[in-house]
Structure 1
Amino acid sequence: MLALRGISVGRFHWLGFFAVLLLAWLALFAMAVPEELRALETTYGTGLIEALCGGVLGASGFAPALAMWALMSAAMMAPTALPAFRTYDDLGHVTATGFGQLVGGYLTAWLGFSLLAAGAQVALYRAGLVGALGQSLSVPLTAALLVGAGAWQFTAIKDACLSRCRAPLTFFIQHWEEGPVRNGLRMGLDCVGCCWALMLLAFVGGTMNLLFMGLAMVLMTLEKLPDIARYLTKPLGLALIAAGLALPLI
């Protein structure tokens, strides 16, 4: 039986999970905006990019923005929950249907976040605060996003959600009887509680920016590992706050 980092993928539900994850990242790679196009927007403004792309990048239309955020959320956040998915599988008596329901419940929570993020992107674009490629055009907005994300790292809600994400066995023992859909939804809500502010930093780096997505995914994954997170969560918060406060002075 094959194994990937200790996770058995001999079972069909794991094969399906990793296949869908790979397809999501391939789709993001295909949709990623080249640096040359980002440079054109900086030089000639959002009007040129909007004319070239017809709104397909999601800045001016809610439906494409929602599709973009939902794909980003699934591709970036499902890997951060791998320890919890593995714990669920290790508890035994898990069917492919039950596993799929767990993952589906988890992603439903992130779909809710995507609805709000897509609405925010369209509103910010129409207000002239973000460009056609989803990046902030406003120094105050960028600073607020950085300081807000940094401050969230120190909140009691973040700490509580992160604590539950770091202890999936305890979580499943407490909520097992609720079934996989509600378990997945609870997991997803905790994950959103941990990571929503960091996800919104996509408006700083630009949505559909592969570099941002990769870095953010790694940071959010490390935050859920107890042995590493205590050296990361609060220092990251301090760094984000410092960057946000320093930005208007640059």
Structure 2
Amino acid sequence: MLADRIRAMGAPHWIGLYAAILAAWAVLWAMAAASAPGGLADIYGAAFWEALCAPAADAAGLGRLWAMWALMGAAMMAPTALPAFATYEDLGHAAPTRFWALAGGYLAVWAGFAAFAALAQTGLWQVGLLDPLGASTSAALTAVLLALAGLYQFSPLKEACLSRCRAPLTFFMAHWNDGPWRMGLRLGAVCLGCCWALMALAFVGGTMNLGFMALGMMLMALEKLPMGRVLTRPLGALLLAAAALVAAGVI
């Protein structure tokens, strides 16, 4: 069975999904390289690359930030949904069109979240709480974000959403008649309920911090697995401890 699943995940539509995820990471790397000495900024000019990710209080600036957050959603969250996508394919022997409809609905939710995140980043930058690369410049904001994420790890809503993510078979059987697009939207909404607070920590590490993105992706992927039950509450306690240390000025 495992060998069959591995072979199935080498089908063209799966390879297309992997390529899209890698492309999202590649574009994010190009944006992050703007501030790296000797990197792409020196080749193409710093102004060109900084314009791709710098906030601005106009439609163009919001559009760029939306694109950046949408790429973050694809790069970080699509990998966490791979077990669910595989379960869906096992249930219905889904044609590539149905597979892409499910994945499209899922990513559409994160594209919507990207709009709110872009607005938040612009607003926080305008009042001086974020630097141009999306990292907090305020110990108070950092402490609040860490505490919010930590407390949310213990919330019933987080647990309810995680329980659905950890049981994709039950989830799809309950909503099978909705069709792939609507199931993708539902799956994305459940995933958003699991992960929005951890995603908001991008304002602590910096929205162009690839290390944060990779760590966040791994943590959120592990949380969605059955064994992730041992991670959720200890992670919440660690985030609350970090918030207390920041508030006390220790870190």
TM-score, normalised with respect to structure 1:
0.89
Aligned position for 1:246 = 245
Aligned to 1:138: 138
Distance in 2, matches of 1:125 and 1:7, equals: 47
Tell me the matched-pair count: 235
Do the aligned residues in 2 keep the contact of 1:195 with 1:220 (CA within 8 Å)? yes
Q: Encode CA deviations 1:152-171: one digit per residue, 9 max, x unaligned.
A: 00111100000000000001
Identity %: 56
The one-letter amino acid paired with 2:246 is: L
Contact 2:62–2:118 (Cα < 8 Å) also in 1: yes
Query: Aligned residue for 2:73?
Result: 73
How far 1:36 moved relative to its partner? Answer: 4.8
Whole-angstrom distance in 1 between the partners of 2:218 and 2:245: 25
1:12 matches 2:8: no
* Equivalent runs, 1:104-183 vs 2, <5 Å: 104-183=104-183
The equivalent residue for 1:230 is 229
Give the conservation status (yes or no) of the 8 Å contact 1:139–1:247.
yes
Cα offset, 1:55, TM superposition: 4.1
Q: Deviations over 1:153-190 (max 9, x none)?
A: 01111000000000000011110110000000000000
Counterpart for residue 55 of structure 2? 59
Counterpart CA distance in 1 for 2:95 and 2:5 is 21
**Aligned residue type for 2:74:** A
Q: Which residue of 2 aligns with 1:83?
A: 83
**Cα deviation, residue 70, structure 1:** 0.4
How many Å separate the matches in 2 of 1:65 and 1:4? 40
In 1, Cα distance between equivalents of 2:23 and 2:49: 23
Any conservation in 2 of the 1:58–1:66 contact (CA below 8 Å)?
A: no
1:133 deviation in Å?
Answer: 0.6
Is the 2:102–2:184 Cα contact (8 Å) retained in structure 1? yes
The answer to which structure has the higher helix fraction is 2
Whole-angstrom distance in 1 between the partners of 2:233 and 2:126: 34
Query: Deviation per CA, 1:172-215, whole angstroms, max 9, x where unpaired?
Result: 11101100000000000000000000001000010021100000
- Assess, with a 3 A threshold, how the Cα gap between structure 1 residues 51 and 192 changes in structure 2: closer, same or farther: same
Change (3 A) 1:234 1:4: farther
**Contiguous gaps of at least 5 residues in structure 1:** 38-49
TM-score, normalised relative to structure 2: 0.88
Partner amino acid, structure 2, of 1:223: E
The equivalent residue for 2:210 is 210
